[in-house]
C-alpha cells in the first residue's frame, strides 16, 4: 500500500474535514485544530434523544437551500486505485448506471464518514488539488471540463439488453454536468451527466443557460445519487489492474512458451548448425538464464482506451501524467 507523505497527509486531512461536511454549516468552517490527524476524523455524534435532536434542528424541506463542495484531487496516472475504491460503496449506484459508467471508463460510488480515513490513507501521493462550490439549482453546471478535443472520443450509450449504441464525440469539449436538488421530503440528490459541449450558431435568441447545453447531453448516463452530511460522492477513472497472481501466471505461461521454442530448436539442430554455433559466446549458452524468467512478476499499468474516462479523468499536471478524482459533498443551509 502506498503511504502518504506528511504534506500530502495534511492536504487529505483538510479534504476529509471539508468534503464530508461533518462540520459544514451556514457559519464559517472551523479551523483544523493543531495535532488533528486524518484518522482522528469521526462521524458526527449521534444524539441520545432523537426528539431533542429534532427540536434543535428543523428537518430540511424541498425549499431548504442546499449546495455542494467539489474537491478535485490529482493523482499519478500509473498507480492502481483499486485499494482506495475498496472503501467506496459502489452498490448504492443503480446496477444499470454502474455498468454503463464502467463501459465508458468512469467509476462512481458513495464514501461514508466511517470509511473516509481508509480511503484517504490508501491514496497515492497527491500531485495537486482544488476546491469549488456548487449552488443548488434545477439547472446543471459543469464541474469538470476537458480541453478542446483533438481526436474523436468513443461514447458507449448501450443500455443492455438493447442493441449496441456507440457514438463518436468530435470537436468541442467534454464536460461533467452536476445538478443538486431536493425532493418533497427534503432529501438532497446529486445528478451527474456527461456532456459533449459543441456550441452552435442560432438565429433564434437563447438565454445563456440554454447555450451551455449546446451539443449532446448523454442523459442515458445520468447518475442520480442521494447526498447526506456524512457521505460524499466519489468520481474517478475506471482502470481495473491485473492481480499479482494473474501477472505471475502470465509470466509463467510466457516462460513455458520460451522453453517450448528452445526444445523445438534443439530437436531440429544438425551437426552443421552446431559447428556454426560459437560455443565460446556466453549469449549462445543454454545455461544463461532467460531475461523473461529473471524479471519479477508485477502488475503492469493497463492500456486506457480513448473513452470518456480517459478524456475527462486523465491528463497532465506539472509535466506528470495524472488521473483526477472528484469528491462531491453536500453543504447544508447554503447561504
Assign 3-class secondary structure to 81-99: CHHHHCCCECCCCCHHHHH
For residue 108, give its domain range.
6-22+65-241+304-332
pLDDT (average), residues 167-180 = 95
Q: Is the dihedral of CA 91, 239, 190, 330 positive or negative?
A: positive
Query: Do 101 and 108 contact (CB within 8 A), yes or no?
Result: yes
- Residue 17, in any domain of the structure: yes
With pLDDT > 70 as the criterion, what percentage of the chain qualifies? Answer: 65
Q: pTM, whole model, 2 decimals?
A: 0.71
284 inside domain: no
In a domain, 286, yes or no: no
Residue 155 lies in a domain: yes
DSSP labels, 120-153: HHT-----EEEEEEEE--SS-EEEEEPPPPSS-E
Looking at every residue in the chain, the average pLDDT score rounds to 77
Tell me what the mean pLDDT of segment 248-263 comes to.
53
10 Å Cβ neighbour count for 178? 22
- What span, in angstroms and rounded, lies between the C-alpha atoms of 143 and 256? 50
pLDDT tens for 217-232 read 999 999 999 999 899 9
Distance of alpha carbon 126 from alpha carbon 122, whole angstroms: 11
Please report whether residue 87 resides in a domain.
yes
Structurally, how many domains does the chain consist of?
1
User: With the C-alpha atoms ordered 126, 132, 136, 142, is the resulting torsion angle positive or negative?
Assistant: negative
Asked if residue 288 is part of any domain, the answer here is no
192 domain-assigned:
yes
What beta strand segments (E) does the chain contain?
A: 66-76, 106-112, 128-135, 141-145, 153-156, 166-169, 173-182, 188-197, 215-217, 223-227, 231-237, 314-317, 320-332
Amino acid at each position: 500500500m502506498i503511504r502518504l507523505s506528511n504534506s500530502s497527509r495534511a492536504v487529505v486531512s483538510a479534504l476529509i474535514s471539508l468534503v464530508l461536511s461533518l462540520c459544514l454549516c451556514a457559519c464559517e468552517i472551523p479551523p483544523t485544530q493543531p495535532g488533528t490527524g486524518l484518522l482522528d476524523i469521526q462521524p458526527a455524534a449521534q444524539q441520545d434523544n432523537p426528539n431533542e435532536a429534532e427540536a434543535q434542528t428543523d428537518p430540511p424541506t424541498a425549499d431548504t437551500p442546499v449546495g455542494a463542495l467539489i474537491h478535485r484531487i490529482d493523482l499519478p496516472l500509473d498507480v492502481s486505485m483499486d485499494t482506495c475504491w475498496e472503501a467506496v460503496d459502489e452498490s448504492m449506484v443503480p446496477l444499470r448506471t454502474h455498468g454503463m459508467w464502467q463501459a465508458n471508463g468512469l467509476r462512481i460510488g458513495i464514501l461514508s464518514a466511517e470509511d473516509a480515513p481508509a480511503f484517504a490513507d490508501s491514496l497515492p501521493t497527491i500531485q495537486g488539488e482544488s476546491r469549488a462550490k456548487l449552488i443548488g439549482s434545477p439547472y446543471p453546471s459543469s464541474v469538470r471540463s476537458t480541453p478542446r478535443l483533438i481526436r474523436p472520443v468513443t461514447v458507449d450509450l448501450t443500455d443492455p439488453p438493447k442493441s449496441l449504441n456507440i457514438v463518436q464525440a468530435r470537436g468541442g469539449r467534454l464536460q461533467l454536468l452536476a445538478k443538486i436538488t431536493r425532493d418533497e421530503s427534503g432529501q438532497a440528490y446529486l445528478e451527474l451527466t456527461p456532456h459533449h459541449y459543441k456550441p452552435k450558431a442560432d438565429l433564434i435568441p437563447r438565454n445563456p443557460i440554454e447555450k451551455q447545453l449546446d451539443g449532446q447531453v448523454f442523459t442515458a448516463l445520468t447518475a442520480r445519487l442521494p447526498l447526506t452530511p456524512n457521505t460524499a460522492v466519489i468520481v474517478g477513472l475506471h482502470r481495473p489492474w491485473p492481480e499479482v497472481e494473474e501477472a505471475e501466471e502470465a509470466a509463467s505461461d510466457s516462460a513455458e512458451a520460451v522453453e517450448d521454442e528452445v526444445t523445438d530448436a534443439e530437436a531440429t539442430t544438425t551437426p552443421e548448425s552446431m559447428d556454426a554455433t560459437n560455443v565460446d559466446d556466453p549469449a549462445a549458452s543454454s545455461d544463461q538464464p532467460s531475461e523473461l524468467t529473471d524479471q519479477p512478476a508485477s502488475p503492469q499499468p493497463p492500456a486506457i482506451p480513448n473513452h470518456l474516462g480517459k478524456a475527462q479523468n486523465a491528463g497532465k499536471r506539472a509535466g506528470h501524467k495524472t488521473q483526477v478524482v472528484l469528491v462531491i459533498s453536500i453543504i447544508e443551509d447554503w447561504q
